[in-house]
Amino acid sequence: MMGVPPSRAPLRLLSVLAGWARGRGAPRSLGALAGPPQRHYKKETLPASEGPIPPVTITEIRQYLRAQGISFHDGYSCLHVPSLFVEGPGEQQQPPTGSARYSLFIDKTTGSFVCTATLAEGTWQDFQASVELKHKGVPHAGLEQLDWVDQTGEDARHIWDRALPLWELLDEEETRTAKAMFGISKVSDATLKRFGVRYLRAARTLVFPWFSPRGSGLKGLKLLGAECQGDTVRYVENTLPRPSAYHNLFGLPLIGRRDTEVVLTGRELDTLALYQATGLPSLSLPRGATCLPPALLPYLEQFKRITLWLGEDFRSWEAAKLFARKLNPKRCSLVRPGDQQLRPLEAFTRGMNLSKILRSALPAGHKSIISFRQLRDEVFGELSNVEQVSGVKWARFPELNKLLKGHRKGELTIFTGPTGSGKTTFISEYALDLCMQGVNTLWGSFEINNVRLAKIMLTQFAVRRLEEQLDQFDEWADKFEDLPLYFMTFHGHQSIKTVIETMLHAVYMYDISHVVIDNLQFMMGQEQLTVDRLAVQDYIVGAFRKFATDNSCHVSLVIHPRKEDEERELQTASIFGSAKASQEADNVLILQDRKLVTGPGKRYLQVSKNRFDGDVGVFPLEFSKASLTFSTPIKGKTRLKKVKDDSGAPPKQAPAGGSGASKKQ
C-alpha cells in the first residue's frame, strides 16, 4: 500500500479521545508518568524591556562570560557552560572536570539558553539577569516551579494509559492488521518496546510518547491514525501539546552519553526502521521537514556526525540542507532522495541495505569552488524531479500553477496593483494558501495592523463571515492557530536593517521559507524627503533580493504602481521607482482592475514576468465579499490566457494550444 503524507487532524479529535479515555476509567493519578516540572522565569524579577530586544553577537556573549569568570567551550551550534541552576555549592568556583558537567547551552545565534540538567530555559537577557542575581547571593534567582498538571497534560496521560503495546493485543490477527496498516510489519516487537510505542484500539491510532530527556516522565504524545482508502493509506497526525509547543526528539532518552553519531529522520516510523536495520542511534524531528526548532540544538551537540534522512522528495532534500546550516555543515551528511533511496521505512520494507545508503550520504558542506562532477548528481536530481523542483502548488489558484508552475524558495516576487483594487486581500489569500500546505510564512504588514490582517486571513481560512457565526470562532481559531504563520510587530516606517535582522531571526527560529512585505512605500515612510527616494528603494529591493538568495527563502514584495491614467491597464514598467525592482524580481504579478461604468469592475491577475520558465499570461478573478476571497469558484468555465508581450492587456483569444480550461476564479 502507498502512503499519503500525514495531515493534521481537527483538535476536537484529541478531546474526543481524551474524553473516551476518562470515560473508560483511565486512572487520574500521575504515578510514575508524571512529567518533571519545567523551570521558567518569573517575569517580575527580570528588568522590563522597552521595545524590541536588541540582538546579541557571539563576540558579545564570549566577552560577557569571560568578564563574569564563567568557563565555557565552543560547540557546533552552542557554547557549553556550567549550569547556574544545578544544586550544590561551589559550582562556579570549581571548574567542571568533564564535559557532562557543562549542561547549560547558549545558542550562538540568538543567545537563548537551555539547561539540559534542570530544563531551565530563557533568553540571553534572562541569563544575564540570573548571573547578576546569583552574584548577589540569591541561588536559582528568578526561577519558579510550574505545575504541569493542566488539561493538556491530563489528556495526554489518559490517552497514554488507555493505549496498549501492540504485542499485548489478545488477537494476533489484529496485531498483524494494525502493523500492516502502518507499514511496520517487519518492525519487531523488541524495537516497538524499546521506543515505547503503543496502540489505541478504538481509534486505530499509534501513540508515540514524548519523554523527558532524562527519560523520567511523560511530557506529551504524538498520535498517528491510519485510514484506508482503496489501495492507499491516509495518515492523520496530531500532537499533545499543540504542534508549536511539541518539541520531541523521538528516541532521545535512548541515546547514550558516549554516542557520537546519529541519524535524523522526518517520521517516527522511519526512526524505528533505521534503528532495527542498522543499530545506529536514531531520532525523528517533531515536525519532520517543516521545522528544526533551535531549542532542540543543545540535545544534538554531543554528536560528531549527523546524517539527515528526512524523506524521499525534493522538499525534504531542501529542508535537510537548511537544517544542516543550523547544525554546522561540517558534521552533517545528507541522504539524497532518489529511485533507490526512499524513506527509511519504505527502503527497509523493500529489503534494501540501509547501512549502505547511509554510507553514500553526501557531505553538507561544499568548498567554495567545486566541479561539475560534484554537482552531477544534484543536477540529475532536479531533472528527474521536475514537478517537485517547480515548487509548492497553490490549491486555490490552479491557473497560477499553470503559469508560475509553483512557489519556489530563494525567489523574489514583486506584486502590484491599483489603489483600492484589493492587493492586501489578494496577497493574504495567496500566502494563506501556501501556509495551509506547510510553507512557514512570516508577514510584515506595515500599512494595516496585525489584528486586522489576522481577521482577514481567518475569514479567508474559514471561507465564511465569522462575525455572523461567533459560536464557530473557537473551532476555526484553533485550526488557524496551528498554521506555521508568524507576524512582524512593526508598523509604519522601519529601517531596512532592522527588518532584515528580524527576518533572519525568524528564518533561524522558525525555518521561515516565505516572507511577505506589504508594502515597500509604507515601510519607507515619508521622512527624509530630501533623500533620493528612488536610490533608497533600489537599496531596499537589493537587500530583499540578497536575503532571498542567501537564505533560500521566497520574498513577496508589494509595491504601489506609478500614478497613471486610470483607463490604462498596468504594465511591468508601471511599478513605482526605477527599473531595478522588475530587473531583480524572479516573478512580477499585477492585479488588474478594469473599471466599468455599467457595474462592478472586472479583476484579473497578470503574470508579466516568470524567470523560472518564461510563461506569462492572465486569468480572471472573482471576489467574494462574504469570505474576502478571490478564489471562490462560480458556475461556468474560463480560459487561462498566456501572452508573450508585456502590454498588460489580455488578448481577446487565447493562442492555439496555449490555454487550458479551469474554473473561473
Task: Give the tens place of pLDDT for each residue, 241-277.
Answer: 888 889 999 999 999 989 999 999 999 999 999 999 9
Distance CA 240, CA 286 (A): 11
Examine the pLDDT at 40 and tell me if it is beyond 50: no
Indicate the Cα dihedral angle 295, 298, 300, 303, nearest 10°.
160
Find out whether 62 and 91 touch, Cβ atoms under 8 Å: no
Tally of CA atoms within 13 A in the half-sphere of 528 that contains its CB = 12
Q: String of b and e for 231-266 (b: at least 16 CB within 10 Å)?
A: eebebbbbbbbebeebbbbbbbbbbeeeeeebbbbb
Residue range 136-155: average pLDDT?
56
pLDDT attached to residue 328: 93
Q: Dump pLDDT digits (tens) for 317-347.
A: 889 999 999 999 999 999 987 656 689 999 9
The region of weakest confidence among 130-139, 413-422, 512-521 is 130-139
Backbone angles phi, psi at 220, to 5 degrees: 180, -175
**Is pLDDT of 87 > 70?**
no
The Cα 196–Cα 47 span in angstroms is 43
Q: Could you tell me the pLDDT band of residue 41, with boundaries at 50, 70 and 90?
A: very low
Measured CA to CA, the distance from residue 602 to residue 621 in angstroms comes to: 8
Mean pLDDT computed over 616-634: 84
Best CA proximity match to 5, nearest among 247, 240, 237, 246: 237
Residues 267, 343: contact at Cβ < 8 Å? yes
What is the reported pLDDT for 565?
A: 63
Give the Cα separation of 86 and 494 in Å (integer).
Answer: 42
- What pLDDT sits at residue 306? 97
- pLDDT value, residue 659: 36
Rounded-to-integer distance, Cα 86 and Cα 140, Å: 9
Q: Is the pLDDT of residue 633 over 60?
A: no
196: DSSP letter:
T
Mean per-residue pLDDT, 11-23: 56
Q: What is the mean pLDDT of residues 85-102?
A: 54
Mean pLDDT for 194-199 is 94
pLDDT of the residue at 92? 42
- What pLDDT is stored for residue 127 in this prediction? 93
Please tell me the predicted confidence (pLDDT) of residue 29: 34
Pick from 482, 502, 505: nearest CA to 491: 502
9 vs 380, residue with greater confidence = 380
- 282-302 per-position pLDDT tens digit: 999 999 999 999 999 999 999
- Find the range with the poorest average confidence among 208-212, 394-398, 628-632: 628-632
**Residue 611 is which amino acid?**
R
Per the CB < 8 A criterion, the answer to whether 440 and 484 are in contact is: yes
Residue 293, C-alpha cell as written in the block: 526548532
Question: Where do the H-state alpha helices sit in 279-313?
Answer: none
Is 301:259 a contact under the CB 8 Å cutoff?
no
Give the HSE-up count for residue 260: Cα atoms under 13 Å, Cβ half-sphere. Answer: 2
**What's the mean pLDDT in 54-78?**
91
In angstroms and rounded to an integer, the radius of gyration of the C-alpha atoms of the chain is 27
Question: Which residues are CB-neighbours of 318 under 8 A, at least 6 positions away?
Answer: 409, 552
Q: Which of 230-244, 427-441, 524-538, 649-663 has the lowest mean pLDDT?
A: 649-663
What is the rounded average pLDDT of the residues 134-155? Answer: 59
Please compute the mean of the pLDDT values over residues 139-152 and round it to a whole number: 48
Per-residue HEC secondary structure of 19-71 comes to HHHHHCCCCCCCHHHCCCCCEEECHHHCCCCCCCCCCCCHHHHHHHHHHCCCC
Spell out the residues 6+ positions from residue 590 whose beta carbon is closer than 8 angstroms to its own.
415, 416, 417, 570, 571, 572, 574, 605, 606, 608, 648
Average pLDDT, the chain: 80
Provide CB contacts within 8 A for 285, sequence distance 6+: 249, 264, 265, 266, 291, 292, 296, 310
DSSP per-residue codes, 219-253: EEEEEEEEEEETTEEEEEEEEES-GGG----BTGG
Between residues 247 and 523, which one has the greater pLDDT? 247
Cα–Cα dist 409/251, whole Å? 31
Q: Residue 476 carries which DSSP code?
A: H
CA distance 170 to 622: 57
**Please, is 67 exposed, middle or buried when counting C-beta atoms within 10 Å of its C-beta (0-12, 13-18, 19+)?**
exposed
Torsion of Cα atoms, 266 then 269 then 272 then 273, to 10°: -90
| Residue 58 confidence (pLDDT) above 90 | yes
Label residue 137 by pLDDT band (50, 70, 90). Answer: confident
Over residues 346-361, mean pLDDT: 92
Mean pLDDT of 435-452: 93
Residue-wise pLDDT for 463-509, tens only, equals: 999 988 899 999 999 999 999 999 998 877 888 999 999 999 999 99
| Calculated CA dihedral for residues 402, 407, 413, 418, nearest 10 degrees | 60
- Buried b / exposed e over 556-566, threshold 16 CB at 10 Å, is bbbbbbeeeee
Q: What is the pLDDT of residue 226?
A: 82
Mean pLDDT of 203-220: 85
**Angle, in degrees to the nearest 10, between helices 496-510 and 533-550:** 20
Residue 83 and residue 91 in contact, taking contact as beta carbons nearer than 8 Å? yes
Backbone dihedral region for residue 57 (phi beyond 0: left; psi -120 to 50: alpha; all else: beta): beta
